[in-house]
């Protein structure tokens, strides 16, 4: 089974990416989805993005990419979190299926 | 991301300071810069940050704003790179009337903020357990409500500690 790779991005990678990444991992594991989740600072993203399937960011993503990008803010405030997590779960399943069948 | 157990009940494993000398209550300020400078000075005077910290926070706030619209109110979490920090702490302020911060991840939006949690972090991994609990207060509607109306530094500190403890006991 392909392990979907998610990068959680924040301004400097100091704290908030880590917080959001932990929450996301918990939500995914509840769905029996075991993704590879890393955190990084926004300035590192251009060099790293090619290694990931999904970007979850609390900074504006300025890098040009066709990869799916989600806001990390709902994971920090709790506002709109359920809806966000549902969308990410759908995307993780989709990518997992697509890449496992290759 | 290592396998850090953030459910660890032992809060003494890190030394993220949340102290009365780092708290301001119903502070009257005119701008976000004003409150960031006041909290920055408290962190500096108490030996938590270098003298470069406050300006670094102000600069970062322009590039990566930290206003967050929680259900109950607007909260900002100004912070900056680890190199400006000596010892980890959270400085807390409630405001007499709100000031505008731009929205995290959405610099074009404005958030009316009346609670500020200014983070001084020198190594996120060392303080992740307590730091995450502090950030979880954004989702704790009752704690935020109480904090807005708190009348003393001690009251604010107690609200934060009770919130942190409530997560430790989960």
pLDDT tens per residue across span A69-99: 999 999 999 999 999 999 999 999 999 999 9
Interface membership of A15 toward B (CB under 8 Å)? yes
Are the C-beta atoms of B117 and B73 separated by less than 8 Å?
A: no
Average pLDDT, chain A: 93
pLDDT in tens, A22-76: 999 999 999 999 999 999 889 999 999 999 999 999 988 889 999 999 999 999 9
Among B16, B108, B105, which residue's Cα sits nearest to residue A42?
B105
Enumerate the residues of chain B whose CB falls inside 8 A of the CB of residue A77.
Answer: 68-71, 138-139
Is B3 contained in some domain? no
Are the C-beta atoms of B157 and B18 separated by less than 8 Å?
A: yes
A98 DSSP assignment: H
What chain A holds in terms of domains, given with CATH numbers, is 5-100 (3.40.50.2300)
> How far apart are the C-alpha atoms of B64 and A42, rounded to whole Å?
10
> How far apart are the C-alpha atoms of B16 and B129, rounded to whole Å?
10
Is B17 contained in some domain? yes
What is the radius of gyration, based on Cα positions, of chain A? 13
Averaged pLDDT for residues B38-64: 97
> Dihedral of the CA atoms A91, B124, A58, A45 (nearest 10)?
-70
> How far apart are the C-alpha atoms of B78 and B59, rounded to whole Å?
10
**Does an H or E element contain B96, and which?**
strand B89-103
Q: Maximum CA pair distance of chain A?
A: 38
> How far apart are the C-alpha atoms of A81 and B70, rounded to whole Å?
11
For residue B18, what are the domain limits?
A: 13-168
Q: How confident is the model at residue A12 (pLDDT cuts 50, 70, 90)?
A: confident
Enumerate the residues of chain A whose CB falls inside 8 A of the CB of residue B81.
Answer: 12, 14
- What was the ipTM of the complex prediction? 0.89
What string of DSSP letters covers A59-80?
Answer: S---S---S-EEESHHHHH-TT
Interface membership of B73 toward A (CB under 8 Å)? no
Enumerate the residues of chain B whose CB falls inside 8 A of the CB of residue A16.
Answer: 77, 104, 135
A positions 45-64 inside 8 Å of B (CB): 57-60
Share of chain A above pLDDT 70, in %: 98
Contact A59 B64 (CB under 8 A): yes
Tell me how many domains chain B contains: 1
Count CB neighbours of B57 within 10 A. Answer: 25
CATH of the domain at B34: 3.40.930.10
* B79 three-state secondary structure: coil
């Amino acid at each position: 089974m392909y392990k979907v790779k998610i990068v959680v991005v924040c301004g400097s990678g100091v704290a908030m990416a880590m917080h959001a990444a932990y929450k996301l991992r918990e939500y995914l594991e509840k769905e029996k989805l075991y993704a590879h989740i890393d955190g990084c600072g926004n300035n590192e993203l251009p060099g790293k993005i090619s290694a990931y399937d999904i970007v979850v960011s609390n900074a504006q993503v300025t890098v040009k990419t066709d990869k799916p990008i989600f806001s990390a803010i709902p994971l920090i405030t709790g506002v709109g979190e359920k809806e966000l997590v549902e969308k990410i779960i759908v995307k993780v399943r989709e990518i997992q299926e697509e890449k496992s069948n290759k | 991301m290592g396998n850090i157990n953030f459910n660890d009940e032992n809060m003494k494993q890190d030394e993220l300071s949340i102290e009365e000398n780092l708290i301001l209550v119903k502070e009257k300020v005119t701008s976000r810069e004003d409150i960031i400078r006041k909290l920055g000075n408290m962190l500096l005077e108490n030996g938590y940050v270098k003298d470069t910290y406050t300006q670094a926070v102000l600069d970062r706030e322009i590039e990566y704003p930290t206003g967050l619209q929680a259900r109950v109110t607007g909260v900002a979490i100004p912070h900056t790179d680890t190199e400006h920090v000596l010892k980890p702490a959270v400085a807390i302020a409630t405001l007499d009337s709100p000031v505008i911060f731009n929205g995290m991840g959405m610099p074009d939006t404005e958030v009316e903020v009346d609670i500020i949690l200014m983070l001084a972090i020198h190594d996120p991994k060392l303080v992740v357990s307590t730091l995450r609990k502090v950030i979880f207060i954004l989702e704790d509607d009752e704690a935020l409500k109480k904090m807005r109306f708190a009348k003393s530094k001690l009251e604010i500190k107690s609200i934060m500690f009770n919130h942190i403890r409530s997560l430790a006991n989960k």
